[in-house]
Amino acid sequence: MTKRTDYCGQLSSDDIGRTVTVCGWVAKRREHGEFLAFVDLRDRTGIVQCVVDHAHDIRSEYVLAVTGTVRERPAETMNTDLPTGSIEIGEATVEILSSAEPPPFQIDGRVDVDETIRIRHRYLDLRTGRMQQNLRSRAAINAAIRRSMEDQDFVEVETPMLIASTPEGARDFVVPSRLSPGDFYALPQSPQLFKQLCMVGGIDRYYQVARCMRDEDLRADRQFEFTQLDMEMSFADGEQVRAVVSEAVSDATEIITGDRPDSIPEMPWIEAMNRYGSDKPDVRFGLELVELTEVFAGTDFNAFKASTVKGIKVESGADIGRNQLDQLTDKAKSWGAKGLVWIKVGPSGEVTSPVAKFMSEAEISGLLSAMDANEGDICYLVADDWRPVVHVLGLLRLELGRPPVNEGGLRFLWVVDFPLFQDVDDDGNPLPAHHPFTMPHSEDLELLSNSNAPADLLKVRSQAYDLVLNGWELGSGSVRIHRREIQQQIFNMLGINEEESQKKFGFLMDAFRYGAPPHAGFAFGIDRLVALLVGEENIREVIAFPKTQSGADPLTNAPSSIDASQLDELGLRVLPPAT
Ligand code: ASP
């Protein structure tokens, strides 16, 4: 094979007169007169036009080595859309290195190709400029993050993949043990417990670009397998952890955009919920939730006799049609609202609404002034308990105003002071909002010991924090409990008794007997960060070999059955499908 001297996309007018050899795939072939053909040759750097002898039988995606002399293109054939559009390789000789069948979809054809077909032939999809660029950006981001952590004196430690279950709240992927039939390993949902053990082990500043596995339904921002930047530090508080992580994500952002983000603002969880109806607010746009409970405190309108009334105003939004309003109402109901009230403001401040007749004048004027609503505006109102109100309006806000992924800049945000518990289960046990190793807020320890009333428990703040970017949760972390007795108390409150906690987390509790330093940490999803930085709506586009929406890999056919002998060896028997 003739040796490559240059990459296609890197040739320029500086190379005119040089004899070069480029290697790659045929992106396009066009006849030129009787004896010549134009071949656009593609490699990972781009495309260059080659003028070759017509005698060659060359088709799309053939693999060629092309040798010829770089020359200026005739003025009429210059292509300003192509970086190499002012030159071509002339009088080229061609060596066919591989022939190719017609591909199942046109590469770089910009046609929508079915997801399963793309992933079944992912190696062809990877040839596209989009995937080449995305994977390079991903590699650059990974490298920037590693460099940043190393510069901040963190040590990369690899933790095991075959472990006992980690409680991140998702379903485990399990691996049967051959040497201990009937027993199973779990694949890590995160390296959480190992990084805490690293702290007891005096590593002091740990990080890992960690692969994690969670058996949850797949979504645009979720695959079974994902990559996290996982970190933990000793003798440090949440503020120090956030500073380290801010530095790493800023370094990653700068590598891609050329701009360093401003310092990342912080917002308490309760403020995020009240203003944006979300613990991962997309602060690229306004449409904030407005508090109206007081306005309707003495209302006769039954639907508004609720503990919370809030609304969203859309400026100049009153020209929305009845059909769309009905659709919004249906959506709000599917999110859990009892109803959605809309009120349009007319030219002289008069309002139009199906429920205007149930509101007093004072309520209407109070509402308009609280929402600063003027002619042409529309207000959407929801009344219920606080949680459903903020939940529904948070989703409505996204529906009404969320910009596409690549518009509105990159708005990082730290959400701090999460509650310790997110809810109470049917048995009255509180459910942890983060994971059970999160330290309660020191000022709220009282609430934790004084009372078991669920309403009070839900008020306990934790020292947990999330990093949010454009409405996506990039990651979570917390100050950890490093004292056995507090950890046991939290386990007890979560309904995990001593026997169970000993069985599941005994190794951590035992380690804490031997001197555990105070420690805190964080992990953020690299797939999500890359997707947002390169402007992709789905993390699949920044993963070389992703699964489809249904969790399958049509390329390798995973998951698939295994041999009877393998099952025997593992002591497993597969039941017939439930009828
Ligand atoms: N282990 C947590 C997670 O994967 C992150 C952390 O608390 O450090 O979400």
Q: What is the pLDDT of residue 428?
A: 75
Half-sphere exposure of 223 (CA within 13 A, CB side): 24
Domain residue spans in the chain? 8-98, 129-262+524-568, 286-401, 419-461+483-516
DSSP annotation of 201 reads T
Q: What is the pLDDT of residue 409?
A: 94
Distance from chain centroid for Cα 23: 36
Q: What is the pLDDT of residue 449?
A: 65
477 CA to centre of ligand 1 in angstroms: 5
Contact 409, 253 (CB under 8 A): no
Residue nearest to atom 7 of ligand 1 (CA): 477
Which ligand 1 atom is at minimum distance from the Cα of 192? 1
168 CA to centre of ligand 1 in angstroms: 7
- Residue of 7, 26, 20 whose CA lies nearest to 84: 7
Q: Residue 503 contacts by C-beta under 8 Å, 6 or more apart in sequence?
A: none
The finding on whether 226 has its CB within 6 A of some atom of ligand 1 is: no
The finding on whether 438 has its CB within 6 A of some atom of ligand 1 is: no
Torsion angles phi and psi, residue 393, rounded to 5: -70, -30
Rg of the chain over all Cα atoms, to the nearest angstrom: 30
The finding on whether 462 has its CB within 6 A of some atom of ligand 1 is: no
225 CA to centre of ligand 1 in angstroms: 15
Pairing, β 46-53 against β 87-98: parallel
C-alpha pair distances (Å), 500 with each of 171, 314, 424, 494, 495: 18, 52, 20, 11, 9
In 120-198, beta strands by DSSP E: 155-156, 174-176, 184-186
DSSP annotation of 438 reads B
Torsion angles phi and psi, residue 459, rounded to 5: -85, -10
483 CA to centre of ligand 1 in angstroms: 19
The finding on whether 523 has its CB within 6 A of some atom of ligand 1 is: yes
* Region 286-401: CATH code: 3.30.1360.30
Q: What is the pLDDT of residue 31?
A: 87
278 CA to centre of ligand 1 in angstroms: 20
The finding on whether 215 has its CB within 6 A of some atom of ligand 1 is: no
The finding on whether 522 has its CB within 6 A of some atom of ligand 1 is: yes
Q: What is the pLDDT of residue 76?
A: 87
197, 434, 526: residue to mutate for ligand 1 pocket, most atoms within 8 A of CB: 434
194 CA to centre of ligand 1 in angstroms: 11
pLDDT digits (tens, 9 = 90+) for 286-321: 999 999 999 999 999 999 999 999 999 999 999 999
Q: What is the pLDDT of residue 451?
A: 59
The finding on whether 521 has its CB within 6 A of some atom of ligand 1 is: yes
DSSP annotation of 275 reads H
476 CA to centre of ligand 1 in angstroms: 6
Task: Tell the CATH superfamily of the 129-262+524-568 domain.
Answer: Bira Bifunctional Protein; Domain 2 (3.30.930.10)
Widest Cα–Cα separation across the chain:
92
Q: In 126-144, which positions are buried (b, 16+ CB within 10 angstroms) versus exposed (e)?
A: bbbeebbebbebbeebbeb
Distance between CA 147 and CA 251 in Å, rounded?
9
Alpha helices in 206-268 (DSSP H): 238-257
193, 230, 233, 420: residue to mutate for ligand 1 pocket, most atoms within 8 A of CB: 230
The finding on whether 208 has its CB within 6 A of some atom of ligand 1 is: no
The finding on whether 478 has its CB within 6 A of some atom of ligand 1 is: yes
232 CA to centre of ligand 1 in angstroms: 10
DSSP annotation of 307 reads S
Residue nearest to atom 9 of ligand 1 (CA): 476
209, 227, 279, 435: residue to mutate for ligand 1 pocket, most atoms within 8 A of CB: 435
Which ligand 1 atom is at minimum distance from the Cα of 232? 8
Amino acid of residue 151:
D
Residues in the chain, pLDDT under 70: 109-111, 449-452
Q: Residue 359 contacts by C-beta under 8 Å, 6 or more apart in sequence?
A: 299, 301, 367
The finding on whether 473 has its CB within 6 A of some atom of ligand 1 is: no
Residue nearest to atom 4 of ligand 1 (CA): 190
Contact 176, 574 (CB under 8 A): no
411 CA to centre of ligand 1 in angstroms: 22
* Region 8-98: CATH code: 2.40.50.140
Contact 401, 287 (CB under 8 A): yes
pLDDT digits (tens, 9 = 90+) for 494-553: 888 888 888 888 999 999 999 999 999 999 999 999 999 999 999 999 999 999 999 999
Contact 378, 318 (CB under 8 A): yes
Q: Which helix (H) or strand (E) holds 272?
A: helix 269-276
Compute how many other C-beta atoms are within 10 angstroms of the C-beta atom of residue 91. Answer: 14
